[in-house]
Homo-oligomer: A and B are copies of this chain.
Amino acid sequence: MSTQLTPAQLRHAIRTGEHTTNTSGLCQGFVQCNVAILPKAWADEFLQFCQLNQKPCPVVAMAAQPGDTNLVEIAPDFDIRTDVPKYRIWKHGELVDEVADISNVWRDDLVTFLLGCSFSFEEALIADGLEVRNISEGKNVPMYDTNIACREAGRFHGNTVVSMRPFKPADAIRMIQICSRFPSVHGAPIHFGDPAAIGIKDINKPEYGDAVTIKDGEVPVFTACGVTPQAAIMAAKPEFCITHSPGHMVVTDIPNSKLAIL
């Protein structure tokens, strides 16, 4: 699959089953989103959870009404039932299926949330000349459970999950400046340095993703991560919900630069 496809072309290829793999590195310059689809009976509390925990759970877009399958603000032709390469279907917190199309399980009470993802700020970091270690090492970013509690909203609760990227201090300062411009993709990091200070047991054993090299003179920099809302959903165990499969994101028509507040 060429990386030169427009978002509309890629979504069409996904919809027709021509593209079935992850979206990492595709349609560079355009926002990609995490997906959470919840029944209306759970959606209000989930939105409140996101509102109370905006750094890990930045809502880029949500369906105007339960049952809506389009979200015009992210793309005029978008259809949430067909435009994600791979979906995960969950019942009572258990993964029950992984599918390429959710048209046959769609319900009129389902509310779609699209959440910001780190691809947007990683692109800005690389454009500024910073090395993003998980990318240069061809790995998934390492992610860790922390002891930083999210604010509860109804049945949704849990601790913040963070991703980690190592930088030299001067580069970390620049990274903080750049990421501060992107509040809707997790914004500035929430911690750097001592992993134990936020309850991380072993920096070399991430709970999600892959460990990356931390070189001499570098400090680990920790950013709130989109796995946080997924973990909160799994813990809340709604009778039914749908997420994207990791790395298989919604590709929007929104340029990454549109997420920059300055």
Contact = CB atoms under 8 A, between A and B. Distances in A.
Interface residues of A, number: 18
Contact of A176 (B177, B217, B219): B177
A190 B217 contact: no
A169 B188 contact: no
Interface string A156-172: 00000000000001101
Oligomer: number of copies: 2
Contact of A192 (B172, B180, B197): B172
Contacts of A197: 169, 217
Contacts of A192: 169, 172-173, 192
A182 to B, nearest CB: 13
Chain A binding surface SS class: mixed
A180 B174 CA distance: 10
A128 interface: no
Given A217-B194, A262-B262, A177 B170 contact: no
Interface in A239-262: 262
Contacts of A189: 173
A169 B192 CA distance: 6
A17 interface: no
A191 interface: yes
Nearest to A222: B169
Listed residue (A173, A180, A188, A219) with the most chain B CB atoms within 10 angstroms of its CB: A173
A101 B20 CA distance: 78
A191 B219 CA distance: 12
Contacts of A193: 169, 193, 219
Interface string A45-61: 00000000000000000
15 contacts: A169-B192, A169-B193, A169-B194, A169-B197, A170-B190, A173-B188, A173-B189, A173-B190, A173-B191, A173-B192, A176-B177, A177-B177, A194-B217, A197-B217, A262-B262
